[in-house]
């Protein structure tokens, strides 16, 4: 195929995806059922796959480091202007940012508190779990405050989330040394919808995990510590990076102390066992779209009573994860390889896997050249299957067969992916860069 034909096909794929993005935004504006919006997002993966395949031979067209961020910004801005029909989390984000400006601590005072009645408005009504206080670390709260300062509207939080995706796109291009993985993240339908449409910041957390691992492998410990603290200040997931500093006592002490300070508000404002504690309630009872955790819980129910099975299952998967961390440290697995594998482990062992959690994984997966993560970004849309019914009668029920189909296909993808995550020793940090061309 000539270079001219490749350029034409790539342009057609981009145009098709742009039309589907516009369609998703239009359906959202029209108040269509969420399932219709999800279907359009799923259809985006067809031109997306075509763009990934054709970009192998068209690197000259995407050599500029500005191509991927520009395409991402263009497509994302279309979704920024649409209502967030797939998630109501951003209403809590806006509420908590507003509370800080009012001098109220959202770690202590949940949205349902009667003392906040004078502040209730149209943005308060859609907040979920109003009886629970905040679960978000301080740096994430900083983004909420920034959004409130910019106007406190739905579009402001979505615009900041889109900016987080742009940061991740640039980071992927920088670490991989190629613009093809960056374009793959910029065009990924799930990441576009979860940031620009739903206002989630998880892909920014994934970018920080990637940069921290990269700088650790390059022995730039201050930069790695800064990225680690940023990741932790956005999501508690950043804790998986701490053990990788273990062989550098000074760097570990710095990151450990900074992490303690960042996590302190989550635990001192309300104890984890407090019924109003968002952090404690989330850790103890949230479950949904899980895979290996569901199996562990099923076994636990046959060993202990059903009431305690969830806590036992959490203890078991926690021990399993700690064992993986020790195995990685003992075998001196390079940081990028270790963080990628540990992120996979977190997602597969977690009792709750929301679609936006894939933002933690995709920057690492794209730099590594893995394919299973990309397939999962399409399969995870199955988690939205109950959304229509939930909007109608408030019942959230994901059919078991849907969950089994999602993870069966993912398991096959992992099994046959030649670059599947593994805790095997490797060479220098460039172990990933040489694989980025598989996209």
Tokens, residue 341: 């594998």
d(C-alpha 366, C-alpha 389), whole Å: 34
Position 426 scores a pLDDT of 52
Closest listed residue to residue 46, CA positions, set 181, 185, 189, 182 = 189
In the three-class reduction of DSSP (H, G, I as helix; E, B as strand; rest coil), residue 1 is classed as coil
Q: Is the pLDDT of residue 431 over 60?
A: no
- Whether residue 5 contacts residue 56, with contact meaning beta carbons closer than 8 Å, is answered with no
Rounded mean pLDDT, 17-43: 96
Percent of the chain with pLDDT over 90: 77
Position 437 scores a pLDDT of 41
Position 427 scores a pLDDT of 42
Position 362 scores a pLDDT of 98
- Whether residue 422 contacts residue 327, with contact meaning beta carbons closer than 8 Å, is answered with no
Position 6 scores a pLDDT of 78
Q: Is the pLDDT of residue 193 over 90?
A: yes
**Residue count of the chain:** 439
Confidence of residue 304 (pLDDT cuts 50, 70, 90): confident
Mean pLDDT of the chain: 91
User: How distant is the alpha carbon of residue 25 from its chain centre?
Assistant: 21
The tens digit of pLDDT for each residue in 249-276 reads 888 999 999 999 999 998 888 888 888 9
Closest listed residue to residue 308, CA positions, set 319, 318, 297, 317 = 297
Position 307 scores a pLDDT of 82
Position 190 scores a pLDDT of 98
Other Cβ atoms less than 10 A from the Cβ of 399: the count is 11
Bridge partners, 352 (sequence order)? 288
- Side-chain half-sphere of 327: how many Cα atoms within 13 Å? 15
Q: 50-64, 145-159, 198-212: lowest mean pLDDT where?
A: 50-64
d(C-alpha 130, C-alpha 111), whole Å: 5
Q: In 249-357, which ranges are E strands?
A: none
Position 59 scores a pLDDT of 59
d(C-alpha 401, C-alpha 381), whole Å: 14
């Amino acid at each position: 195929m000539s270079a001219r034909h490749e350029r034409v096909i790539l342009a057609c794929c981009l145009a098709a995806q742009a039309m589907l993005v516009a369609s998703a935004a239009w359906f959202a504006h029209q108040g269509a059922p969420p399932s219709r919006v999800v279907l359009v997002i799923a259809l985006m993966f067809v031109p997306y796959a075509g763009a990934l395949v054709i970009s192998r031979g068209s690197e000259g067209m995407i050599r500029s480091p500005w191509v991927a961020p520009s395409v991402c910004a263009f497509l994302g801005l279309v979704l920024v202007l649409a209502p967030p029909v797939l998630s109501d989390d951003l209403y809590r984000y806006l509420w908590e940012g507003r509370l800080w400006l009012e001098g109220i601590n959202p770690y202590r005072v949940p949205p349902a508190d009667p003392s906040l009645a004078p502040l209730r408005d149209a943005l308060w009504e859609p907040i979920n779990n109003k009886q629970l206080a905040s679960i978000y670390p301080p740096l994430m709260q900083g983004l909420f405050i920034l959004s409130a300062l910019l106007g406190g509207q739905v579009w402001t939080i979505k615009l900041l989330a889109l900016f987080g995706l742009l940061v991740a796109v640039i980071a992927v291009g920088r670490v991989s040394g190629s613009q093809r993985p960056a374009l793959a993240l910029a065009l990924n339908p799930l990441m576009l919808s979860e940031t620009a449409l739903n206002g989630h910041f998880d892909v920014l957390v994934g970018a920080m995990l990637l940069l921290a691992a990269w700088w650790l492998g390059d022995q730039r410990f201050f930069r790695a510590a800064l990225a680690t603290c940023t990741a932790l200040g956005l999501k508690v997931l950043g804790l998986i990076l701490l053990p990788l500093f273990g062989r550098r006592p000074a760097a570990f002490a710095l990151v450990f102390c900074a992490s303690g300070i960042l996590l302190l508000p989550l635990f001192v404002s309300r104890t984890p066992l407090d019924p109003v504690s968002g952090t404690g309630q989330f850790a103890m009872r949230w479950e949904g779209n899980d895979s290996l955790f569901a199996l562990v819980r099923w076994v636990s129910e046959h060993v202990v009573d059903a009431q305690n099975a969830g806590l036992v299952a959490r203890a078991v998967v926690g021990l399993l994860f700690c064992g993986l961390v020790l195995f990685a440290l003992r075998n001196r697995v390079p940081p990028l390889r270790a963080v990628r594998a540990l992120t996979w482990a977190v997602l597969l062992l977690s009792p709750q896997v929301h679609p936006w959690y894939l933002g933690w994984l995709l920057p690492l997966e794209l730099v590594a050249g893995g394919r299973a993560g990309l397939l999962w970004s399409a399969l995870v849309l199955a988690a939205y299957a109950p959304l229509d019914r939930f909007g109608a009668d408030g019942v959230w029920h994901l059919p078991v067969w849907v969950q089994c189909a999602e993870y069966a296909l993912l398991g096959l993808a992992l099994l046959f992916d030649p670059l599947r995550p593994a805790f095997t020793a490797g060479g220098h940090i460039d172990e990933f860069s040489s694989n980025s061309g598989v996209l």
